[in-house]
Amino acid sequence: MIDVHTHVVPRGWPDLRAVTGSDGWPWLRIDGEREAMIMVGEVEYRPIGAECWDAADRLADMAADGIDRQVVSPTPLFFGYERPAGEAIKVARIFNDLNLECVAAGGDRLIPFCQVPLQDPDAACRELDRCLAAGHAGVEIGNHVGDRDLDDAGVVEFLQHCAEVGAPVFVHPWDMPSGPRLDRWMARWLSGMPAETHLSVLAMILGGTFDQVPNSLRLCFAHGGGSFPFWLGRLDNAWHRRGELVRGRSSRPPGDYADRFFVDSAVFHPSALRLLIDTVGEDRVMVGSDYPYPLGERPAGQVVRQAEFLDEAQRAKLLSGNALRFLGLA
């Protein structure tokens, strides 16, 4: 079984204020041999454990969950898309090189994905190329760059480059809106993240991105594509009945694009998994857990292993076959 959605937080990154000359970057407060706190300024952002940086812990958890291989992606907090590109380039290089160190002990069981300074498409392409040469197998991007979504000309240029060099792209929601209604109950993660992903799938369809990138682009949306699969019918209806407002640059109805991307299986309920398969197809859903974060699925892959409606051929696709194709390994 391959888990395509996991995160790393390396230890021992340098003082990013010294590296970039600007304030407000995350830093790690070491709270013990196996505990640390990601800090943003003086604010405690997220407590993390050794499984975030220690391959031995990660491999032990994989063994316990029956996972053979993991895609190990950055944690979006460190993307820095809102920063001047020169700063984000330096930080991306640091974290990408540290990710390779983190996964080294796992051999080919841990598959590193890199981050890129997406606010600067040329620099993003260069960093991707550098990372692919250094051992990364693909790239994780945030679902937007400030007010620019995945139909932004620069982002499209980057995605075209990914298709050209055969790099798989994992799209992760991040930088969610905040405010009094969202800054409680983890609402930014519970309703904000699925809405962010939904909006970015819309941008790729209605903004014409899928019409501008080749079919060969292998792209996966996290968290089962967010709210999109549930609301595709509403979108199709709007495209036909309010086309003057909705069609944008899309050449075909939204449902025609539903087989252009992969999604992970981090939806928890078998009924939601069934909807995913009905929407994007049994060749487009892959196990993804969001390990090691607490909103992720443990044991990883449980909903796929336990879903009674899957026959064994379908289950095999979701457990590994589709991921091998996404990664370009089959």
Residues in contact with Co ion by the rule CB under 5 A: 290
Report, in Å, the least distance between residue 268 CB and Co ion: 14
> Whose Cβ is closer to Co ion: residue 224's or residue 321's?
224
Q: How far apart are CA 143 and CA 176, in angstroms?
A: 10
7 touches 51 (CB < 8 A): no
Report, in Å, the least distance between residue 113 CB and Co ion: 11
> Whose Cβ is closer to Co ion: residue 72's or residue 204's?
72
Strand 169-172 relative to strand 26-30: parallel, antiparallel, unpaired? Answer: unpaired
Report, in Å, the least distance between residue 173 CB and Co ion: 8
Bridge partner list, 28: 38
| Unique residue bearing structure tokens 């260069």 | 126
Report, in Å, the least distance between residue 135 CB and Co ion: 22
> Whose Cβ is closer to Co ion: residue 65's or residue 290's?
290
281 touches 259 (CB < 8 A): yes
Q: How far apart are CA 270 and CA 75, in angstroms?
A: 27
> Whose Cβ is closer to Co ion: residue 7's or residue 317's?
7
Report, in Å, the least distance between residue 182 CB and Co ion: 18
Burial class for 194, CB neighbours closer than 10 Å (0-12, 13-18, 19+): buried
> Whose Cβ is closer to Co ion: residue 268's or residue 309's?
268
CA distances, 44 to each of 39, 55, 206 (Å): 5, 25, 38
State the residue number with the nearest CB to Co ion.
290
> Whose Cβ is closer to Co ion: residue 87's or residue 290's?
290
Alpha carbon 228 to chain centroid distance?
A: 15
| Unique residue bearing structure tokens 């160190």 | 101
Report, in Å, the least distance between residue 64 CB and Co ion: 20
